[in-house]
Every structure is written in C-alpha cells, then in structure tokens.
Structure 1
Amino acid sequence: MLLFLCVATFLTVTGHSLANDLTDTAGPVTDREIILDLQRRLAVIETQQTVYVTRISDLEQRQQNDHQIIADLVSHRNLDQKRISDLDNHLETEKSRVSDLKDQLKRAQRLISKFSAYESQINDMKRTANLDKNLTSSKRQLVDIGNRQENEDSQYDVQTLDLPENPAMDIFLPVEQGRKLNPVLDGSISRHPAKEDTPLARVAEPSGNPDVIAFHAYLSFDYNRASTHMEIRFDRVTTNVGHGYSGHTGTFTCPSSGVYMFTWTVCIQSHFITTELIRNGAAIAAGFSGDTDYRSVGTSVTLVELNQNDEVWVRVDTYNAIPAAGHIIGNPGLTSFSGFKVR
C-alpha cells in the first residue's frame, strides 16, 4: 500500500515534470523513453523506501530500549522507596534506644549520688573497724606483758584494763603485788583487791563465720531492646550473705580474697545473644543463649580467683542485628545471677 501511494505520488509529480520536459523538448518523445524514465525514477523511489524502512526499524528498536530503561528506572525507584522505609524504621528504633539510654543515664546519675553517700558511710565504718583492730592488738599486747610478769613473780594482784571504747571486751592482767605499773599504761589501769589463782587475760571475740559469702539475684523486668556492653541489673536479691552484691547496680564487690564460683542464666525471646562475666572491666568468661525463633535460655558457670574489693558483673556482648532481637526476659526469675566463695 505504501509502495502504491509512493508510485502514485511519483507519477503525479513526474507527470507534471514529464509534461514540462515534453514542452521543453524540441522533438517528439516516444512511449519507450517515457517508460524508461519512469522505471529509473521508480528504482530511486524503491531505494529511498528501503532507507526509510531501515530507519523506522532503528527507531522501533530504540523505542524498545527506552521502554526497558524506563522499566529499570521504575524498579530502582521501588527499591529506593523500600530502603527509605527501612531506614525510617531503623531511625525510629535508634531513637527509642537513645531514649532508653537517657533514662538509664538518669538512673545511673541518681545511683552515683546515692553511692557517694554510701561510700562515705563505708569509709567511716572501715575507719571504725581499723580502730577496733588496733584496740584488739593493744589488748593482746597487754596480755603478753601480763603473762611475762606471771613467770617472774609468784604473787599477783588482778588489774583490769579500762578501755571505754569497747566495754564489752574485758582483759584481766596479773601484776606483781606492790610493783608499779608501766608508766605508759599506768593511766589506763585501775587496781583491784588481790586474788589468788586469777585466770590469765582473755579477749571475747564476736561469733559468726565471716568466710561464708554467697548471693543470688534475678531480673524482675524485661529489657525490650538490649545494647552492646549493657550491664544486666539483676535487681531482686533473694540471698546476700556477706553483703557483697548490690541489686541497685547488679555488681558483686568481693568482701574477702579467695576462689569464687559464679553462674548466670539469661532468657531471651528469640534469636540469640552472648553475654560476658566482667571483673574490674575485663571479660573473664562468656555465655550463649538462644539461636532459635522461640523463647530459650542459656546458663554459664565459671570459677575465678578474686581479690578483696574486686567487682564482678554480667553484661551483653553481641546479639542479632535485627529489630526483633535483644529482648531479655526477666519475670518470673528466668534471668538470674548467683555466686559463692569456694575457699
């Protein structure tokens, strides 16, 4: 059809052209010459038609390529929109974590203020304890002096050491009859009537076993979203013999040097979490919980040698980097921390 239209157009144009040519030609034109001229012009038209068809094919191919590029751009746009949505969700999660950290910081500041007051009280108690130790040492020295005097003399008067700092502890010191006391101690000793077979000096020691140290505490609430190196504060204390553990901080402060056994259990909602046992800021043992899509627990046990005033606590190490991970379950006592002195 296209070829027919082109030929018709050509004949119309060439008709006028032939007419003009015939009018310009001096002699008559034969039919053969007209047919030859038409065939020549028709060949030119066919050649141009081939060129146009080739160009149309190229344009159609370019159109298909443009459609493919547009489809790829639409796909990339959808991916970018999904990434933006994921980033928005992550931003909200981080904002929530920042808010939790701010709350924890405020609690920590309040605890630091309380601990400063407690530390002052503890220092006062330590000074009092040191004074008691010095007092006991002085009394024992006086007992040794009395024993030496007993070996030298045969007759004694019973002397009582008057120490008002701790009147519950009495020391009976034998002194030779008629002999003056040491002038350094003379002001603190009062005389009693002479007695025979008076028992030697004795010091009353407090009852109880200070070497028994043990504690147990558990978590009474949930950590909805744990963070790396976050200390787990086991706040409900059920046993605290020796008063080494603090439910306010989740830290055990060693009352006396020795070998201790620690065990901790962590329950999580899903996925996995790893924990560490920390001594004075350095990790000494590790624990693992989970690696499933359901609630699970993990328990770890370790032995460690501690010095007095060493601090031990449990903290989070790593967990799945997805929003659903890091949920630690506390109530009713599924996450706990225990320890006791072995020797």
Structure 2
Amino acid sequence: MIYVIVVIVFCLVHIVDGQTLDNDDDIPDTNMDIILDLQSRLAVLERFHNELEKQHKIDQNRIVTIDNQQAIDRNLILDLVREKGDNQLRISDLEKQRQTDQLRISDLEKQRQTDHLRISDLEKQRQTDQLRISDLEKQRQTDQLRISDLEKQRQTDQLRISDLEKQRQTDQLRISQLKNNMNYHKYDRTTTQNQKEFLGRSNVVQKTTLNTRTLNATRKDDESRPPSFRNTRMVLTQESMNPGKRVSDNSDTVAFYAILSHGYDPMTDLMEIHFDNVITNVGNSYSGQTGTFRCQRPGVYVFTWILHVTGRWAFTELVKNGVMVGTAFAGDSQYSITGGNTVVVELSVGDDVWIRVVEHMPGTIIYNSPHRHVTSFSGFLLK
C-alpha cells in the first residue's frame, strides 16, 4: 500500500510541474513527451492500481478465508488438544489395562502350564483307563464265557434237579413198595407157616388114606399104581397150596414193559415221555408215574423204545443219568409212522434211565391208540 501511494505522489508532482511549465509557455517540446510518457505511465499505474485493488480485494477475501480457516484451525486445535487430553487419559487407561492384561497373561500362562500338566496327567490316566478298559473287556468276555458255562451248568443242574425229583418220587414209591412187600412177606411167612402146619396135617391124613387105598387095591389087584403117583400128587398139592409163587420171585430176573395210554400234543423239546401204562414190571424197577427205570441190580441191560408220530418228525433219545446214550428218529412222512431204537447199557445201582424228546418239527404229535400198544418202552437185565 505504501508503495502505491509513493508512486501516485510522484506522478502528481510531475503533472503539476508540467502544468506550470505550460502556463508560463516556457516548457520545451521535450517536456510534452515526458508528460505524455507520464500520462501513459499514470494510466499504467491506474491499471496497476486497479489490479492492486482487485488483488487487495482478493487478498482481503483470502485474509477472511484464512481468518476463517485459522478460526477453524483454532477450533480444530482446541478439539485436538481436548482429544489429546482424552487420548492421554485413554492412553493412561490403556496402560493400566495393559498392565492388567499383562498380569492376566501371566496368570493365563501359569494356568496354561497347569493345564498342560493336567493334560499330561489326563493322558496318562487315559492310557491307564484304556488299559483298564481292555482288561475289563477281557474280563467281560471271560465273564460272558463263565456266564454261558454257568447257564449250561444251570440247565444241567435243572435237569439234574428234575431227575433227582423223579428219583425222589421213585424212591418214595420204592419205599412204599418195599414197605408193602415187607408187610406182604410178613403175611406170606405167616401164611407159609400156617400152610406148612396144614400140609403136615394133610400129609398124615393123605398118607393114611393113600396107604389104605393102596393096601385095598393090592388085595384086589396085584398090579399097583406107579410108586411116584403119591409123590407127584403131593408135589402138585404143595404147589397148588402156594399160589404166590411166581417167576418174579426169582431175584435174578429184572424186566419191564410199559406203553403210552395217551398222546402228546403239543410236543416240546427236552420233554420227558412217561410210559404210564405198565404191563410188566418184574423187579419193580420201573415207575409209570415218572417214566424212569432205576437200576437196583448192577449189570448189562437192554432197552427198546418205539414211538408212533404223526404230522412231521421227531428225534428222541434214551438218557442215562442226564447223558444221552441212544437216539431214535420217527416221522418225515405224509402218514403216521413209527420209529425207535434198541441200546445195550451197563448200569450200576441207582442209575436212572428214561426217554425224552430231543428235537421236533412244530405240528408233530405223539400218537397212541388205546387199542394198539404201538408207543412203548421196555427193558430187561441181560447179565
């Protein structure tokens, strides 16, 4: 601005000097050139002034803009200062949090180490558990086998219990029969003694009668009857006086024959067949109620059983003390059919023998007619 004012004053001085010269008419022509030059310069200065005015306005606008920008910057600075303060507080808080995090990290590292130790212990325990599981699996398999064996033993025991129950029933029947036999033998001895006394008296009478008849016959006829006639008659008379004498009184004979008086419908596996209708029972070793033959005399026995089945088929077996000795097959025909077997078994005193069903096709029945003794069980002592 000062520069502009100086230029304007300098130009005005020259213009005034030129006008003075013109008034005195002492100005040379050269001064006119100067004046013109000054005027042109003045015009240039005016243009320059205008430009400067424009520039001044621009500068003023720029200054206003800068002032506004400065105010904005100041506000921004204030905001930044406040933000810096906030950031300082935030940094302080973050530092505290970082310290807390560092402590937490340290604790977590310790916990991680503890967890690693725990994991290591758990891995060892897991290996131990795996070994324990393996041992338990083996023990379980052993237990399963043991259970299976015990189940089989239990079934065997159940069969044995059933057999013992039958034997007990047979023993009770045998005891009852023995008691009856004892009573019968007591009565038989008493009767025999009475018969002997009666025979003694009869012999005396008969001898007297026979002798009298013989003497009379001798007188009438020289030929007499055979001398053995009296003896034979006396023997026949003694046998006729003892009707209880039978083949079964021979203690060396053991034989039985029993049939089935009814059918079995339906059948079941391991079902025992009771041949209840006893036809022959020499030695009283067979029970029709239990279907069991109990040996009372040791030796070799022959057993035969025959089954009449209809429907399909069935396997039966002869059992000695719960153990199969022989098997028979019957069936597999569109009509009813019989099947059986004969076995030779050596028995000791107390051994039990019976017949049972091993396996059958559903729908198979054991058929027996009350008029035909087809289904039967028999046996005898061979030696």
TM-score, normalised by the number of residues in structure 1? 0.41
Higher strand share: 1
Higher helix share: 2
- CA radius of gyration, larger in: 2
